[in-house]
Structure 1
Amino acid sequence: MASVVLFTCVFIVTAAMDNADMIHFLEGFNLRSRRWAQGLALCGFLGASATPALADQTRWVSDHLATYVRSGPTDNHRIVGTVRSGQALQVLTTQGDYVQVRSEKGDAVWIRATDLQPQPGPAEYVPQLQKQVADLKGRIDNADRDFQQRTTGMRELLDARKTQIDELETTRQKLNQQLTQAQADLRATQSQLGSERQQVLMRYFAYGGAVAGSGVLFGLIMPHLFSRSRKRSRQLI
């Protein structure tokens, strides 16, 4: 593993150099071999020590990948920079497998035709999709807030109606109690009136009987009195 890391470090160092720097590096490598060896050994040690810690972790390929651009339309031309994935480039001309484009800095560089596509990549739509998602989320939040307000209003209205119904029910029960009491009082009054009426009728009957008896008695006595008075009148004559 350490040898692989060492080779990787050497490859990275040399890949970043142009031809002149490469020759200068190789000429002076023997003089600095011990120092470079120590540095590369340190890189290998750090890489070897970091490998077990990252072995159990999951990583994803970055969306922001870089593509090398060259000074000419062949693989032998020098790498002069990079362009990021999804970057829009102005096409100038085409030659072989390469296309000359103008970078954001205004430089004319060459890039492989296979690294270009006629339409934007999915990553270019992410901001627009994020904006649409944010708009939809805002609408959903507004709709939910409006629904909650309406629900709260309806709940308050239902509570008010329930309170009114409870009050009306209480009033109805009180009225039923009053009606029951009034009916009981009416029955008691009717019963009392019936008794008093019977008493009055009995008194009327008693008075009528007394009057009738007095009349009969008077009718029986008066003829007898008249007959006596006639007899006395005749005797005096």
Structure 2
Amino acid sequence: MKLRILSACLLLLSTWSTTAVAEQTAYVSDQLTIFVHTGPTRNYRIVGTIEAGTPITVVEKSEDGSFSKVEYDDKTGWVETQYLSNEQSLKQKYVQTQQALDQASAELAEVSSKLNTQQSEKMLLESQLERQQQTNAKLEASLQNYQTQLAQLQQSDAETQEKVKMDWLIKGGILSLGSLIVGYILAMMPRRKKRSPDFF
């Protein structure tokens, strides 16, 4: 009888035998919902469930390592170690990847919007540049025309001044020649003799 009691006590102690471990983050394997027990065997009462992908913290393991004591959502309990994984579930990876994709899509849309704005601004600047080039071409043509007209006016003015000089030179020559002729004629004319007062 004592032997049976001793054996039962040893069995109970072995059931409760656990090993403390350093806290580590783990995840419930994909496509699983595992039961949470109050102790490190299936014989203990089920107090909840944990869905796949839920991050949990392993704080302790049973002696044989088949069960792990975990913390989750401000709760604690024992779950079967075989259903835990050190990697995130595919569901979580999918969600994170989808979030990253959404963010990348938003950034791409923003860049595309900026690019469209820059292209519109570029087209506007190109249009303004083309109009300015046309204006410059017209101004250059007008300037060339004015330069031609100015050169013609300068040439005409020079010719006019030269003609005026020649006219004055000719008139001066004629006037000098006329003066000489008049002087010569006057010199050649006979002088009248003065009458003597005794003539009467």
TM class, shorter-length: 0.5 to 0.7
2:181 and 2:196 mapped to 1: Cα distance? 28
Residues 86 and 123 in structure 1, CA contact (< 8 A), matched pair in contact too: no
CA separation of 1:85/1:205 partners in 2, compared to 1, >3 Å: closer, same or farther? closer
Aligned counterpart in structure 1 of residue 42 of structure 2, from 87, 92, 99: 99
For 1:228, what is the secondary structure of its paired residue?
coil
Instruction: Decide whether the 8 Å contact of 1:89 with 1:102 is kept in 2.
Output: no
Q: Percent same amino acid among aligned pairs?
A: 14
Give, in whole Å, the separation in 1 of the partners of 2:115 and 2:182. Answer: 97
Residue 150 (structure 1) aligns with = 114
Q: What is aligned with 1:127?
A: 91
Structure 1 residue runs of 5 or longer lacking an equivalent are 1-83, 107-112
- Give the counterpart of 1:216 among 177, 180, 183: 180
Hey, what does 1:201 align to over in structure 2? 165
Q: Residues of 1 paired with 2:129 and 2:161: CA distance?
A: 46
User: Tell me, what secondary structure is at the counterpart of 2:34?
Assistant: coil
Is the strand fraction higher in 1 or 2? 2
In the TM superposition, residue 120 of structure 1 has moved relative to its aligned partner by 3.3
SS at match of 2:165: helix
CA contact (8 A) 2:37 2:46 kept: no
Q: Residues 93 and 101 of structure 1 are in contact (CA less than 8 Å); yes or no, is this contact kept in structure 2?
A: yes
How far, CA to CA, are the matches of 2:188 and 2:161 in structure 1? 41
After superposition, the Cα gap between the structure-2 partners of 1:87 and 1:173, relative to the gap in structure 1 and judged at 3 Å, is same
Higher helix share: 1
Aligned to 1:173, the other structure's residue is in SS state: helix
Q: Take 1:139 and 1:160, find their aligned partners in 2: how far apart are those partners? A: 31
Alignment-derived partner of residue 116 in structure 1:
80
The runs of at least 4 consecutive aligned structure 1 residues that moved more than 6 Å come to none
Distance (whole Å) between structure 2 residues aligned to residue 235 and residue 153 of structure 1: 123
Q: Quick check: 114-123 or 199-208, which moved more?
A: 114-123
TM superposition score normalised by structure 1:
0.50
Size of the aligned set, in residue pairs, is: 144
* Residue in structure 2 matching 1:90, options 15, 36, 47: 36
Unaligned runs of 5+ in 2: 1-29, 50-65, 68-78
Whether the 8 Å contact between 1:89 and 1:103 is mirrored in structure 2 is yes
RCO higher in structure (CA 8 A, sep ≥6): 2
